[in-house]
Amino acid sequence: MNETTTQQPAPGHAEAPPAAGAPESADATALVVPVLSVSAEVQAAAQARAAAAAAAPLRLMAVHAHPDDESSKGAASLAKYAAGGVGVVVVSCTGGERGDILNPNLVVDAADVPALRQVEMANAAQILGVAHVWLGFEDSGYHEGEPDTWTLPPGSFGDLDPAPEIEALVRQVRIFRPQVMTTYDENGGYPHPDHIRCHVISAAAFEAAGDPDAFPDAGPPWQPLKLYYNVGFHGKRLRAINDAVKARTGEGPFDEWIARAASNNRPDAAERITTRIPAADFFAFRDDALKAHATQIDPGSHWFAVPHDIEAAVWGTDDYQLARSLVDAPMPEDDLFAGVRERERERA
C-alpha cells in the first residue's frame, strides 16, 4: 500500500483521505472491502458543510476520541441541530487506526484500516450533515484493567503530554468559534485511554480558548459559553428500552449489557442528566451514520435491534450533563443553546 495511505492527517486537516488497494486475500464467506478514496463529490460536499457551519450564527463543536464515536453518542441531536441551521463540527482526536474489525461480514487488511476509517468518517459526516475535522493524533488502542496498569503505545494520544493536544484543540475552537462544546465526562464515558484524554483536553480547551495569554500562537481568543458531557448509555435508558422491546418481542436486546452493568457497582449516569434533547425524528440518521463505520459495527448487532417507534415512545431524547456554563438558563433543559440563543439575540 502507498505510504501516504497510512499517514495520520495533519492536526486540523479537513477530511480528504488518499486511495489504497484492496486486501490480497480474504475468507470466501465474508465481504472483502477495498479501501477507496473519498469521491470528489463527497469532498466538495464536506467543504460546503464546513463553510456553512462556520458561517452559522449558532455553532456546536462535538469533540470525540475516534471516528464512530460521533455516531454512537449524541448523533441524533447533532443531525437535528445541523438540519435546523446550527453549524455543527465534529472533531475526531484520533484516526481510530488501532480499532479492531468488529464486523464479522468484513475482511480488511490491517494496513488498510487507517485509510478506510477516514472514508467511513467522511460518509458518516455526510449522513449527519455535519462538518468534520481531524485533530491528528494516534489511537492509543483499548486496554483492560485499571488505568495505572495500562501500557500505552509510545507517541499515542493517551501517552503524550496533553499540552500540545490542548493547543491543537484550542486552535480549532478559535477557528470555528463554537458557543457550545460537547465531550465525555472525567471517566471518558467508559475507561478507554483516548476517551479519558478527550475529556482532559476538551475541558482544558474550553477554559483556555478565551484566555489571550494561553497558547497565543493558536489564534485570536474565543470563549465558548457551555460545555456538556454526553450521557448516552445510562442504565435507566437501557432498562426502559429493553423492557419495552421485551414486552413486544419476548427478547431483551440489552439483557447482557444490563447484567454486566449491575455487577460493576458504578453509579448510574442517569443521575447526572441535566439536558434532554428530543431527537427521535433523527434516530434513522444516527443508525445510518453508525452503519457507515462498517469496520466497527456489525449491522446485525443489538445497536439496531430496537424498533424506532419503541425507542421514540420510551426514550426519544439524547441526554447530556451541563458541566460548565457562562450563561443562565433554567433547569432542566431541552436545548443545548438554552441561554445562548437569548444572548446572541441581544448581541445582534
pLDDT digits (tens, 9 = 90+) for 24-76: 333 334 455 444 578 889 999 999 999 999 999 999 999 999 999 999 999 99
Greater pLDDT, 8 or 266 = 266
Cell of 233: 448509555
Residues whose CB falls within 8 Å of the CB of residue 324, separated by 6 or more in sequence, listed in order: 203, 206, 226, 227
The mean per-residue pLDDT over the stretch 265-279 comes to 92
- In this structure, are residues 277 and 318 in contact, taking their beta carbons and an 8 Å threshold? yes
Angle, helices 308-315 vs 283-292, to 10°: value is: 120
The answer to whether position 12 is within a domain reads no
CA distance 152 to 157: 9
- The yes-or-no verdict on residue 265 having pLDDT over 80 is no
Provide the number of structural domains found in the chain: 1
Greater pLDDT, 178 or 101 = 178
pLDDT digits (tens, 9 = 90+) for 141-174: 888 777 778 889 999 999 999 999 999 999 999 9
The mean predicted confidence, pLDDT, of the chain is 88
Rounded percentage of the chain residues whose pLDDT exceeds 70: 90
Classify strands 87-94 and 226-230 as parallel, antiparallel or unpaired: unpaired
The answer to whether position 209 is within a domain reads yes
Greater pLDDT, 205 or 301 = 205
What b-and-e string marks burial along 238-260, b requiring 16 or more CB atoms within 10 Å of the CB?
A: bbbbbebbeeeeeebbbeeeeee
- In this structure, are residues 221 and 211 in contact, taking their beta carbons and an 8 Å threshold? yes
Classify strands 275-278 and 317-325 as parallel, antiparallel or unpaired: antiparallel
- The yes-or-no verdict on residue 16 having pLDDT over 50 is no
- From 272, 264, 178, select the one nearest 230 (Cα to Cα): 272
> Strands (DSSP E) along the chain, which ranges?
31-32, 59-64, 87-94, 106-107, 131-137, 180-183, 226-230, 275-278, 317-325
Greater pLDDT, 106 or 179 = 179
pLDDT digits (tens, 9 = 90+) for 164-217: 999 999 999 999 999 999 999 998 877 899 999 999 999 999 999 999 999 999
Residues whose CB falls within 8 Å of the CB of residue 207, separated by 6 or more in sequence, listed in order: none
- In this structure, are residues 174 and 219 in contact, taking their beta carbons and an 8 Å threshold? yes
CATH of the domain at 300: 3.40.50.10320
CA distance 147 to 158: 11
CA distances from 110 to 1, 16, 97, 107, 156 (A): 11, 20, 9, 9, 18
Task: Say if pTM beats, i.e. exceeds, 0.75.
Answer: yes
Instruction: Categorize the per-residue pLDDT at 266 as very low, low, confident or very high, splitting at 50, 70 and 90.
Output: confident
Residues whose CB falls within 8 Å of the CB of residue 292, separated by 6 or more in sequence, listed in order: 71, 120, 123, 124, 127
CA distance 31 to 20: 17
The answer to whether position 134 is within a domain reads yes
- From 273, 233, 223, select the one nearest 257 (Cα to Cα): 233
Give residue 346's pLDDT: 87
Instruction: Categorize the per-residue pLDDT at 11 as very low, low, confident or very high, splitting at 50, 70 and 90.
Output: very low
Give residue 12's pLDDT: 38
Domain containing 77 equals: 37-140+154-235+270-325+332-348
Give residue 36's pLDDT: 55
Greater pLDDT, 242 or 305 = 242
**Strand, coil or helix: what is 104?**
coil
The answer to whether position 9 is within a domain reads no
Instruction: Categorize the per-residue pLDDT at 332 as very low, low, confident or very high, splitting at 50, 70 and 90.
Output: very high
The answer to whether position 344 is within a domain reads yes
Give residue 67's pLDDT: 96
The answer to whether position 52 is within a domain reads yes
For 318, phi then psi, to 5°, come to -95, 135
Give residue 81's pLDDT: 98
The answer to whether position 146 is within a domain reads no
